[in-house]
Amino acid sequence: MISYKGADADYSLKGKTAIITGGAAGIGFATAEFFAKKGVNLVIADLDSGAGAAAKKLGAKNIGAQGNVCDGAFRRRLIDAAVENFGGADILVNSAGIVALEKAEALSEDDWNRTIAVNLTASFMMAQAFGSYLIKNGRPGSIVNMASQAGVIALDRHAAYCASKGGIIAMTKVLALEWGPHGIRVNAVSPTVVLTELGHKAWDGPVGEAFKKEIPAGRFAEPDEIAGIIGFLCSDAAAMITGHNLLVDGAYTIK
């Protein structure tokens, strides 16, 4: 059960420890930056070799771990690192993800399987390992899974990605249902295009300008505003929010 501690106007996170997958770049790193400003201890995981440098950039005490979230031993190592260095873990942000752009009739089985493995299966297995740790130790906690507007609407050439993100949203609801009595909140965040480095490469230009015209807000999202929303969901200010998929899409999906 999640007890009410009173309204938290400061969205306090100080002293908590977060594990962030895909944390060396993009939304993951923006979230790590936000958390660092809030006094959160960080375990940053990434397939990229820059995980260690990203962690240290945000504070000497932080831990960076290079590895593949599809590897069970690596997932367990992340939790062990949080426990050994910070005495425990409170927050998991599942931000690691990939996309394979291809027409459905031409999408290879390998690209389908890899997208599902990284985006959906690894996110579930990481959440399972983290949730099991919390339950075993009687700790409350918060999990935020990165979904997408592609999880609630169809996007051209995104068959595998849409399937994986739709699965994330459904998984989030089940975990919230099962783990709520243990004080574990589980939510998803579903952005539109986010202007990370990869977002700029993919959407700067005429195609992106045309897409923005379809968004009532008239723009794409910035990484730091997604990070702030994740921070809110992990704070006690959101203590009654669980099992929710928060769309951050400038009203694109209401049409």
Q: Report, as residue numbers or ranges, the catalytic residues.
A: 161
Beta strands in the chain (DSSP E): 17-21, 41-46, 63-66, 91-94, 141-146, 184-191, 245-248
Q: Which of 245, 242, 225 is nearest to 34 (CA)?
A: 225
Please, are residues 15 and 4 in contact by the beta-carbon 8 Å criterion? no
Q: Which of 47, 36, 43, 46 is nearest to 13 (CA)?
A: 36
Please, are residues 223 and 23 in contact by the beta-carbon 8 Å criterion? no
CA–CA gap between residue 89 and residue 140 (Å, rounded): 10
Please, are residues 66 and 22 in contact by the beta-carbon 8 Å criterion? no
